Amino acid sequence: MNTTMNTTIAAASGLVLVAVLSACSPAGDDTSQGQPPATGDLPVVDVYDITETPSVSDMALDITQTTMNLGGGALDRYLYTVAGDDAVYGAGRPIVVDAGDTVRLTASNATDTPTNIHWHGMNVPNDQDGPGIRIEPGASHDYEFTATSPGTYWYHSHERPVRDQVDEGMYAPIIVRDPIDASYDLDQVLVLDDWMVAGATGRTEAVGEVDTVNGRTGDDIDPIEITGGEIAKLRLINASTARTQQMSFPVGVRVTHTDGAPLVEPYTTRELAIAPGGRYDVELAPTGGEDETVTITNERDDGMVIPVRYTAADATAAASPFVAPEPTPLDPELLTRTPDVEMTLSSTMGSAGVAWTINGETFPDAETFDLELGTTYVMRFRNSDVYQLDHPMHIHGTHFRLLTESGSPVAEEVWKDTVSIPAGMYVDVAITFDEPGTWMAHCHILDHEDGGMMTTIDVA
């Protein structure tokens, strides 16, 4: 990682913009020629541009079923929306609150299936977390919690089989704003997903063949518009149930947050691998002497083409408003301690298909773990999967600090709630729970979670 960034991003994009971008993309707006269109009842106004969105912490949420036209096909899907709003929000109705707000939300289930809501990445009381709640068809449930930590999060169903509901759109972003976020010229949420329109691909999980950004694909994706001297905050959320999104940027972007947690040492990159459930906040602050239209893309040509329309201006490069937190002291003993908790991730073939295991067992029979409130533990995720697949492991109720990757210390201070464990490797993390209760730990490839790669951590 490049940790030599200062508060101006001219070196990351700056004059490199024209030279690099002209080589990366043809001029003009036709940046997604040949991609399948998405039409239908999507809102005209981009509700995922939250630059001017007011904080709304009291909300009546409707969980509904509707139809969305995408890639030439009509899809039946679930939708999070607000009562009385007929718009089909491509990535669900965003919730935007300010840090410290008390969120009060009544969720009414207008679908034909039981469901619930998990507040992914948010530190909420255990009885608000989701998996232990069941909202029957026609019923409602009241959630209430304080949005304590600023960051980019999302909320989604955790009713098993989880894949079925999340894959069909039962999710949306929830953003907890920091006061400094008001200093950005653009605050844009980008929810990444793939949808099954004609079929699915993938060896052991379902992967759709049409990629979307905020529920739009190809030419229908809203452009990012930015002028020289401005700075944008882009919040990327991977809502795919199985795919890691390999994102490519036409210029360097500055990464400030991972999974909602601010980085002590922001870094600049043009590539990001975002595991299912993962989030990144990045800053985009281009300069240059000519107007350009360029694109942000992923690793495949299936509709994820985000236009960036740059307007030249006689202005200096924007200064970042981001203030990095002070480093958290790390006890060096944690780097060499024998793990207090170890989860070995693997799979076996059974009569019902592939079983995804933790320590050789599937949920609800997998080994559980009893931890003490406020105590820091070393937890090891070891990937011994015979299929040689990565497994993005998500822990409810807290963030954890990355310690080592197969024994090599992680140089930077990085906090996450979802970490991808590469095939054949192990990752050690330091984890402390500040809320009591029974918390879930599972693979966020949701076919794997539903197939057994999940367990519980009891904290008291």
- Domains for the chain: give ranges and CATH numbers: 16-25+182-311 (2.60.40.420), 58-178 (2.60.40.420), 333-459 (2.60.40.420)
Query: How is the chain split among helix, strand and coil, in percent rounded to 5?
Result: 10, 45, 45
Maximum Cα–Cα distance across the chain: 67
Beta strands in 384-434 (DSSP E): 391-395, 400-405, 408-409, 415-416, 418-421, 426-432
- Bin 459: left if φ > 0, else alpha if -120 < ψ < 50, else beta: beta
Distance, CA of 356 to CA of 344 (rounded, Å): 11
pLDDT of residue 206: 86
Q: Residue 54: is it exposed, middle or buried by C-beta count within 10 angstroms (0-12/13-18/19+)?
A: exposed
CB 284 within 8 A of CB 248: no
CB neighbourhood size of 84 (10 A): 7
Torsion of Cα atoms, 11 then 15 then 16 then 22, to 10°: 160
Average pLDDT of each block of 10 consecutive residues along the chain (460 residues)?
Answer: 32 33 32 36 78 95 92 88 80 97 98 98 96 97 98 98 96 98 98 87 79 95 96 98 97 97 98 98 94 96 96 93 97 96 93 90 96 98 95 98 97 97 98 98 97 98
pLDDT of residue 200: 60
Distance, CA of 197 to CA of 167 (rounded, Å): 12
pLDDT of residue 3: 34
Distance, CA of 244 to CA of 299 (rounded, Å): 10
pLDDT of residue 235: 98
Residues shown for the chain: 460
CB 196 within 8 A of CB 168: no
Amino acid letter, residue 235: R
pLDDT of residue 205: 85
pTM here is 0.91
CB neighbour list of residue 424: distance below 8 Å, 6 or more residues apart: 383, 384, 388
Q: Residue 102: is it exposed, middle or buried by C-beta count within 10 angstroms (0-12/13-18/19+)?
A: exposed
Tokens 């981009």 belong to residue = 46
CB neighbour list of residue 52: distance below 8 Å, 6 or more residues apart: none
pLDDT of residue 203: 58
Structure tokens at 10: 């001219």
Rg of the chain, C-alpha, whole Å: 21
Distance, CA of 181 to CA of 319 (rounded, Å): 13
Distance, CA of 284 to CA of 426 (rounded, Å): 33
CB neighbour list of residue 281: distance below 8 Å, 6 or more residues apart: 151, 152, 233, 234, 235, 236, 255, 256, 257
Helices (H), 124-275: 162-167
Residue 17's H or E segment, with its range, is: helix 16-24
Nearest to 346 by CA among 356, 335, 332: 356
Distance, CA of 279 to CA of 260 (rounded, Å): 7
CB neighbourhood size of 422 (10 A): 14
Residue 13's H or E segment, with its range, is: none
pLDDT of residue 29: 36
Tokens 């989860």 belong to residue = 343
CB neighbour list of residue 135: distance below 8 Å, 6 or more residues apart: 63, 107, 109, 114, 115, 116, 141
Structure tokens at 99: 């840090």
Residues 194, 195, 198, 204, CA torsion sign = positive
Residue 232's H or E segment, with its range, is: strand 232-238
Nearest to 17 by CA among 303, 321, 293, 283: 293
Distance, CA of 267 to CA of 256 (rounded, Å): 7
3-class secondary-structure state, position 410: coil
pLDDT of residue 83: 77
CB 14 within 8 A of CB 287: yes
Distance, CA of 128 to CA of 139 (rounded, Å): 17
Distance, CA of 379 to CA of 419 (rounded, Å): 12
Structure tokens at 451: 């197939």
The gap between the terminal CA atoms of the chain, to the nearest Å, is 37
Structure tokens at 399: 């963030």
CB 269 within 8 A of CB 252: yes
Distance, CA of 376 to CA of 431 (rounded, Å): 5
